[in-house]
């Protein structure tokens, strides 16, 4: 198959657009599930919080504003076809230039500390967190997922032993949500990674947050586990913004991977109700 050329300028332009658009409009199914929850929520205050979230989404769309003041650290998933040749510059430079332009020209808050201990602000929301995978074909798929840290900070990982039961896993997810309370801006979207090793299971949990909330795991076993985790979390009475109620989580998305015979890693990546992501195929 002939190599297909994609210019670094094109990558920059797409990343810029995705940064701005993902911060202004939520994925359609996530928006819908929030609006439906406003009807089904059992607590009065929970209902009114969910109605406010709906009004906030409307205002962001109408006035071209970000949905939340925390416009996140830019997480980029790139699936690069093996038959793609990137021209005109380095791939990661092109992505970071897109983030820089998206955040500065789109007037999005720049939230990246230049150093994790000595702090400071890079001033343009770079560098992004970039996850790259080589895939078959001659296309380049870019997903931009701006991640707020009110929810990110509530994430947890545990290296279970293979003796852990399904109930143990559900308990850990529920405990994570209970400990977080109102801090991750519930109702939350819960990304769960199961399997792999220490770092892959955290990656899977983040990737799970980019799956549409309306789509269950393709494996019925994990699809059912998602439903059981969601029911359990929604029995905790954390509720919208932590005020109590039946809508603590909007969805649980699991991504799984084979693991070592001696282990069973599980990571929970907490996503808030503003679990943003948008993709483009070049
Ligand atoms: S956790 Fe989400 S909703 Fe809350 S401040 Fe951060 S980005 Fe905004």
Q: pLDDT at position 2, please? A: 86
Q: pLDDT at position 184, please? A: 98
Q: pLDDT at position 262, please? A: 98
* Residue 200 to residue 187: CA distance in whole angstroms: 26
Residue given tokens 């801090």 in the structure block = 183
Query: Which residue has the least CA distance to atom 7 on ligand 1?
Result: 148
* Residue 158 to residue 171: CA distance in whole angstroms: 12
pLDDT in tens, 111-133: 999 999 999 999 999 999 999 99
Q: pLDDT at position 25, please? A: 94
Query: Which residue has the least CA distance to atom 4 on ligand 1?
Result: 185
For helices 28-40 and 44-63, give the axis angle rounded to 10 degrees: 150
Domains plus CATH for the chain? Answer: 4-23+67-147 (no CATH), 150-275 (3.30.1330)
* Residue 24 to residue 13: CA distance in whole angstroms: 17
CA 215 to chain centre: 15
* Residue 16 to residue 23: CA distance in whole angstroms: 11
Query: Which residue has the least CA distance to atom 1 on ligand 1?
Result: 150
Ligand 1: list residues with CB < 6 Å.
68, 70, 72, 148, 150-151, 184-185, 272, 274
* Residue 282 to residue 51: CA distance in whole angstroms: 37
Output the CA 93–ligand 1 centroid distance in Å. Answer: 27
Specify the ligand 1 atom closest to the Cα of 149: 6
Asked if 18 contacts 108 with a C-beta cutoff of 8 angstroms, the reply is: no
pTM reported for the whole predicted model: 0.96
Specify the ligand 1 atom closest to the Cα of 69: 8
Q: Which residues lie closer than 8 Å to 211 by C-beta, 6 or more apart?
A: 253, 255
User: Which stretches of the chain score pLDDT less than 70?
Assistant: none
């Amino acid at each position: 198959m002939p190599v297909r050329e994609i210019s670094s300028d094109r990558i920059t332009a797409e990343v810029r657009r995705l940064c701005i658009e993902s911060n202004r409009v939520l994925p359609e199914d996530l928006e819908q599930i929030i609006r439906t929850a406003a009807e089904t929520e059992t607590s009065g205050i929970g209902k009114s919080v969910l109605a406010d979230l709906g009004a906030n989404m409307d205002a962001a769309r109408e006035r071209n504003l970000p949905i939340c003041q925390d416009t996140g650290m830019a997480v980029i998933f790139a699936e690069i076809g093996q038959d793609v040749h990137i021209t005109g510059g380095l791939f990661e430079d092109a992505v970071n230039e897109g983030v820089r332009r998206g955040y500065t020209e789109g007037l999005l808050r720049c939230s990246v500390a230049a150093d994790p201990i000595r702090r400071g602000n890079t001033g343009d929301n770079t560098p992004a967190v970039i996850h790259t995978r080589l895939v078959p074909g001659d296309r380049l798929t870019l997903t931009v997922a701006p991640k707020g840290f009110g929810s990110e900070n509530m994430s947890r990982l545990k290296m279970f032993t293979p003796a852990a039961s399904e109930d143990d896993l559900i308990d850990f997810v529920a405990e994570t949500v209970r400990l977080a309370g109102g801090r991750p801006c519930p109702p939350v979207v819960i990304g769960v990674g199961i399997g792999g090793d220490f770092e892959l299971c955290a990656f899977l949990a983040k990737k799970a947050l980019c799956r549409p909330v309306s789509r269950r795991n393709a494996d019925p076993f994990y699809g059912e586990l998602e439903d059981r985790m969601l029911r359990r979390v929604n029995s905790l009475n954390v509720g919208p913004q932590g005020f109590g109620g039946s809508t603590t989580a909007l969805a649980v998305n699991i991504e799984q991977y084979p693991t070592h015979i001696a282990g069973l890693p599980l990571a929970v990546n907490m996503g808030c109700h503003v679990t943003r992501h948008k993709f483009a195929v070049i």
